[in-house]
Chain A
Amino acid sequence: MADLLAHWDSLPTYLQSTFWILVVTVVLILSVAFTTLWERKVIGWMQLRKGPNRVGSLFGLVPGIFQPFADVIKLLLKEVVIPSASNKWLFRIAPAITLVPAFAAWAVMPLDPALVIADIDAGLLYVLSLTSVGVYGVILAGWATNSKYAFLGAMRSAAQVVAYEIAMGFALVGVVMAAGTLNLGDIIRAQEGGVSNWFFLWLFPLFVVYLIAGVAETNRAPFDVAEGESEIVAGFHVEYSGIAFALFFLAEYANMILISALTAVFFLGGWLSPFEGLLGADSALGAPGFHWLFLKLFFFLTCFMWYRATFPRYRYDQIMRLGWKILIPVTLVWIAVEGLLVYFQVGPWSR
């Protein structure tokens, strides 16, 4: 084992990063598969149903564990219909454009105190710019389909994403002010020293705004007017079938996981242990590690499903009103308050 580790360390960095890129991508795709199952289970339980429980089981436990694979095989075998009046090239490339940023953003994610694929200084800006590029896939899909429903969905999505990106950016300005850096790993390290130093306590309004804007950015209920089954059928992906539809699906869930992980990193101390300072750093619960990031991520991911099972869909003008007239002023006020806190040396950033 030690021999193997030594061999691993002697490998050039680009081979090591390639290995981690492959690991992260495969794990992410598998997580998306099981997230769909978890979502159907959670919403089922909330509605006093059992959820999928037919396909497979692990030793009589977890019925329905292989449901995602059955779904994927079904989608793979279906025909991809390309409408004859559509713009064929853009129609084909649009799912890829939504998918690539959702995966590329993981390059700068600090997964563990020692593990981040690309430790770049402007990591936060990188993540922000990639999440904003994903909307092109939605817009192009809606336009290339050449259908009124799809086009309406695309237009709604474009306006919504641009509106909520501003609130999201302002919320992150608060995080940057508190941490004093744009590097995601350093943002986590700025929250060291127990739960009382995590940013969600000190930046609570920004935390709430980021959470809401995150749901809106991923086009999830109650902000899913881009799909809006009851009004515009399925919005931008109304004409997509088979694996092309599955790619949109994959991108949506990958974005959900990404936003959950980012919320954990920015506001809940990422891989930091909540028992830090109470228990020793060498004890099992006190040590930082990937498992803490996973638990926090999982909590927010479940919240996404909770929202979907709980809230009715927003009306379009209400979405715009919430974004521009409520969230942005809230962030502006709290950034001013935070400026005062920083100036008078109150809070965890005074260390």
Chain B
Amino acid sequence: MFVQVLFYAFSAVLIASALGVIVARNPVYSALSLVLAFFTSAALWLLIEAEFLAIVLVLVYVGAVMVLFLFVVMMLDLNTTSLRQGFARYAWLGWLTALAVIVQMVGVFWFRGLGIDATQGAVARSAEVSNTRELGEVLYTQYVYPFELASVVLLVAIVAAITLTMRRRPGLKPQDVAKQVAVRREDRVRLVKGLGPKAKSSGESAASAEEGQS
């Protein structure tokens, strides 16, 4: 009973925050709604004792991905009115995508296509079973090739992102820390010697003038 109340409460917040992502006018609010959506879905996963998935969702998506997302959204001074201009023209594309998703969901839930019976719901495992160990065993034995393949795809994405930003472009002044550390005094300061008695006497007179003032 208590679990059911929790489930409906979290689901309500999840749906509300998911709507907030697409409805909010301010992109920062959208990003924050997405954070809330991740949190509540993690809570829903905790209810079926999938604690590993729940915590990793918070750790990866809330703790790292969304921080960078917020970072970018806050830095960009997004002009929402100009972004909205193409909205009506490309609306059919959005409707098409929505239709495809709805067809898929009907296929899964109504006609039980693809051999997936989602209507049964997830089965909560007993508390004795270590989620982490089970997932790890499956991931590194049965699904080891897809897993490795996914990591290679991620690596390629990392390399691509770095090559995109590391290209030589005009006006770029990267710091060479080794060079900065290797600097000696002689490179920066030049001691001037032998300016002659004239400079010396003028220096003295300046000093005496200061003394007189004080």
Contacts and interface: CB of A to CB of B under 8 A. Distances in A.
The answer to whether A and B assemble together is yes
Interface of A: 120-122, 125-126, 128-129, 132-133, 135-136, 139-140, 143, 151, 154-155, 158-159, 161-162, 165, 182, 317-318, 321
B71 A158 contact: yes
B64 A132 contact: yes
Contacts of B67: 132, 135-136, 139, 158, 161-162
B64 A122 contact: no
A143 B56 CA distance: 27
A317 B175 CA distance: 9
Per CB-CB distance, the 6 closest pairs between chain A and chain B, nearest first, are: A132-B63, A129-B59, A129-B58, A125-B55, A158-B71, A122-B51
A122 B63 contact: no
A125 B70 contact: no
A126 B132 CA distance: 13
Interface string B77-107: 0000000000000000000000000000000
Contacts of B64: 132, 162, 165
Given A120-B51, A136-B35, A317-B175, A125 B71 contact: no
Contacts of B175: 317
Interface in B19-67: 28, 32, 35, 51-52, 55-56, 58-59, 62-64, 67
A128 B74 contact: no
B15 interface: no
Nearest to A315: B175
Contacts of B75: 155
Nearest to A143: B74
Nearest to B127: A121
A162 B71 CA distance: 11
B74 A129 contact: no
B130 interface: yes
B177 interface: yes
Nearest to A131: B63
B63 A126 contact: no
B43 to A, nearest CB: 13
Nearest to B63: A132
19 contacts: A121-B132, A125-B55, A125-B59, A126-B55, A129-B56, A129-B62, A132-B59, A132-B62, A132-B63, A133-B62, A135-B63, A136-B35, A139-B67, A139-B71, A154-B74, A158-B67, A158-B71, A159-B71, A165-B63
B131 interface: yes
Given A122-B55, A129-B55, A136-B70, 14 more contacts: A120-B51, A121-B132, A122-B52, A122-B131, A129-B56, A132-B64, A133-B58, A133-B63, A135-B63, A136-B67, A139-B67, A143-B74, A151-B74, A158-B71
A155 B35 CA distance: 18
Contacts of A151: 74
Given A133-B58, A133-B63, A135-B67, A125 B74 contact: no
A236 to B, nearest CB: 12
Contact of B130 (A121, A133, A321): A121
A158 B52 contact: no
A154 B175 CA distance: 23
A173 to B, nearest CB: 13
Nearest to A120: B51
A158 B69 CA distance: 10
B106 to A, nearest CB: 35
A128 B59 contact: yes
Contact of A125 (B56, B62, B68, B177): B56
B172 to A, nearest CB: 14
A238 to B, nearest CB: 16
B150 to A, nearest CB: 18
Given A121-B51, A318-B177, A158 B70 contact: yes
A316 to B, nearest CB: 11
Most chain B CB within 10 A, of A159, A165, A182, A318, is at: A182
Nearest to A182: B132
A42 B128 CA distance: 47
Nearest to A129: B59
A162 B51 contact: no
